[in-house]
Structure 1
Amino acid sequence: MEDDAVDTGVSVNSNGGETVAATEVATEISPEEVCVLIPTLNEAATIADVIEGFYDQGYTNVVVVDGDSSDGTREIAREHGAEVVVQSGDGKGQAVREALEYITVPYVVMLDGDGTYDPADADTMLEPLARGYEHVIGNRFADMDDDAMRALNGVGNRLINRAFGFVHGANYEDILSGYRAFTVDSFRRLSLDSDGFTIETELAVECVKHGVETTVVPISYSARPDESETNLHPVKDGGTILLALYSLAKINNPLFYFGSLGMAGIVSGGFIAVYVLWEWLRYQQGHEIMALVSAAAILLGVQLLMFGVLSDMLVTLHREQRRRLERIARNERDE
């Protein structure tokens, strides 16, 4: 790898999504250091063009991890020179985790095999890694074909991105993008459990949680070819992703997670208390059971709110300690 010019970029840090200037000595990443990872499930109509597209860009280390396709995807991939791994489980998330066990090079470019992402954007995705970033997200909204995404999907994507920014405190612009580039070392620091389409969401949350230097670059996004069928169910998968965002806040933003539950308990208990008081003042009719339920809901809400505050303090202390240890480790490596 040869030294190049000093460059300046902007990354999103792990504390509230603030941007910080990052100046690194840029180095050139050779294609031999990169593995192109393509999770597939019944992508026979497009997988050949995707593989050949990366060959044209000089990237010949292509790994297709297949979820037991029934349309000949694996055979086509092998015919075009890709290494094919049949995943042992189900879902895109499990496929990605399993595939990383076979990768020995330091960098990975990951994308879907449906022909919507352009292999020509690979250099754009890798360039920030050469400047010291650890995870790169391709922003599909920067250059999207008019018919590449249905209106419902577009609204859902923007809603999810805003929810992510509000809950997890970072603006990654397009957290559901399937076009990623990352270092293998940074990936192995993440704690990933997702099996399905929520893998991109979990990757974004884990990058914030572990302070992985992440940046976003513009890419092109094309419409899926007519002969290729989508495996995505917008309403069902969108709801699953939103639920995952909220669930993952439990360990990444406990104040929001437990605080929201606590406020729900306090507000619901308050409404019941107001109803009980109104009934007593107007009709002199008591509702002892409802009064007990109201008190219990308010008490539980206050306890959850306090637990959220304490948990947030612990998470903050843990992050500070982790940063100190990372600084010490970097200093030791520099020495």
Structure 2
Amino acid sequence: MTDDVCVLLPTYDEAATVADVVTDFRDNGFTEILVIDGGSSDDTRERAREAGARVEIQSGSGKGQAIREAVHEHITAEFVLMADADGTYRASDADAMLDPLREGTAEHVIGDRFADMHEDAMTGLNRAGNTIFNGLFSLIHREDYGDILSGYRAFTVDSFRRLRLTADGFGIETELAVECARHGVRTTVVPITYLPRPDGSNTNLHPVRDGGIILMAIYRQAKTSNPLFYFGSAGGVAGLAGALIAAYVAYDWFVNTISHNVLAIVAGVGIILGVQLLIFGVLSDLLVTLHGETLDRVEALEREVDEAVEAAGVESADDDAPDASEGKDRADPPEQ
């Protein structure tokens, strides 16, 4: 059954591959395919329509903005299957992506490209960057999602609308992973096949620029999910810089009898700032932990209240039901 699924394909100058991608999903039984285009200058929209997709032009720019606009304004299905339109993902993996949603075991599914990645599908630089980003994400956000930069996702519309997403560009995949971890969205990872881009298809990804955006997105989001790392890392850098400067000042003072008053002040400020940031990180981490425990208790109380109300409703319905024996007594005439 695919009537409850909308296949979402964000595009920008994907004329070389979009028709094949749409056809692949249609051949696998998907009838609702939405292409949301970011103002392509080639024939992307025309080829998508010819292949049988519904095409919308996004009002803004960037992949993140396109996805948010599509889900909030153009999709009415219960589930969304999101993929890139560059021919690197297979529609035959869709059922495996959607099964956890339909079974109710997950609300967000990430396709793990590294489970079956073709040799030429990713450059060595991109592989190294992905490994670093995944490791950093696991360290900061305490969740192991395997492949946080995967563009092959499946999720419920309800869970998506609970997330606070602001990224406009390629940082959207990272932000989705961070928000799922932060809001407790049940997330699972499914192995998929990752193919190399077809000949004649050019990537819109710029490794250095977009890698920097992704790195900052992971770090910036740590201030509310892992403040000890966020403030502690900044404090560590400041403290280490101050300690190194202080060591240089002390060495020049004791060995060469040369004083560096200004550097000494800078060293002191750096050390004090580092200690203060570390203390602030510890306190913030404590507050986040207590806040999480409070939310867990509130949710547990809400569940207990819902169960009590449901049980009371059942008992009330039983009390209101007429007793069969009483009805029989009223129906039978008294014996003479």
- Name the TM tier (shorter chain): 0.7 to 0.9
Q: Residues 332 and 109 of structure 1: is their aligned pair in 2 closer, same or farther, counting only changes over 3 Å?
A: farther
Q: What's 1:129 paired with?
A: 101
User: Aligned partners of 1:164 and 1:67: how far apart in 2?
Assistant: 29
* Aligned equivalent of 2:243: 270
Match of 1:321 in 2: 294
Distance in 2, matches of 1:108 and 1:177, equals 15
Q: What code does the residue aligned with 1:111 have?
A: A
Q: Are 2:182 and 1:226 equivalent residues in the alignment?
A: no
Normalised to the residue count of structure 1, the TM-score between the two structures is 0.88
- 2:9 is matched with 38
5+ residue gaps, structure 2, are 311-336
Matched with 1:175 is 148
**CA distance in structure 2 between the aligned counterparts of 1:329 and 1:136, rounded to whole angstroms:** 27
Tell me the CA shift for residue 268 of structure 1: 1.0
How far apart, in 1, do the equivalents of 2:229 and 2:283 lie? Answer: 12
Q: Deviations over 1:28-76 (max 9, x none)?
A: xx31111111100011111111112111222111111100011111112
Structure 2 match to 1:22: none
* Alpha-carbon separation, structure 1, partners of 2:81 and 2:279: 43
Q: CA deviation at 1:175?
A: 0.8
CA deviation vs aligned residue, 1:222-272 (integer Å, no higher than 9, x gap)? 111112111011222222211221122122211101000111111111111
Unaligned segments of structure 1, at least 5 residues: 1-29
In the alignment, the residues of structure 2 paired with residue 236 and residue 58 of structure 1 have an alpha-carbon distance, to the nearest angstrom, of 38
> What is the RMSD of the two structures over their aligned residues, measured on CA atoms?
1.5
Q: Secondary structure at the match of 1:51?
A: helix
SS of equivalent to 1:31: coil
2:86 to 111, 114, 121: 114
C-alpha distance in 2 between matches for 1:57 and 1:328: 44
Where do 1:1-335 residues align within 5 Å?
30-101=1-72, 102-132=74-104, 133-331=106-304, 335=310
Amino acid at match of 1:62: I
Q: Deviations over 1:270-306 (max 9, x none)?
A: 1111122222212332222111111111111111111
Mark the CA change 1:200 to 1:76 in structure 2 (over 3 Å): closer, same or farther: same
Question: Which amino acid counterpart does residue 311 of structure 1 have in structure 2?
Answer: S
SS at match of 1:100: helix
Residue 333 of structure 1 and its aligned partner are, at CA, apart by 5.2
Take 2:81 and 2:290, find their aligned partners in 1: how far apart are those partners?
33
Cα drift, residue 329 of structure 1: 4.2
Match in the other structure for 1:26:
none
Query: C-alpha displacement at 1:131, in angstroms?
Result: 2.8
Q: Give the Cα–Cα distance (whole angstroms) in 1 for the partners of residues 39 and 296 of structure 2.
A: 41
**Aligned-pair CA distance for 1:179:** 0.2
Q: Quote how far apart the aligned CAs of 1:111 are.
A: 0.5
Distance 2:295 2:47 in 1: 45
More deviation, 231-240/299-308: 231-240
Identity among equivalent positions (%) equals: 59
- How far residue 331 of structure 1 moved from its aligned partner, in angstroms, is 4.8
Q: Tell me the SS of whatever aligns to 2:3.
A: helix
Q: 1:184 to 1:325 in 2, by over 3 A?
A: farther
Distance 2:227 2:182 in 1: 12
* Inter-partner Cα distance in structure 2 for 1:71 and 1:320: 52
Which residue does 2:324 correspond to in 1? none
Greater CA drift, 213-222 or 325-334:
325-334
SS of alignment partner, residue 203 of structure 2: coil
Give the length in aligned residue pairs: 306
C-alpha separation in 1, matches of 2:306 and 2:11: 39
TM-score by length of 2: 0.87
**Cα deviation per residue 1:82-124 (whole Å; 9 max; x = unaligned)?**
2211111111001001111121122110000011100111100
User: In structure 1, the residue corresponding to 2:221 is in which secondary structure?
Assistant: helix
Amino acid in the other structure paired with 1:120:
S
CA distance in 2, matches of 1:126, 1:108: 9
Aligned partner of 1:130: which letter? R
Whole-angstrom CA distance in 1 between matches of 2:303 and 2:92? 34
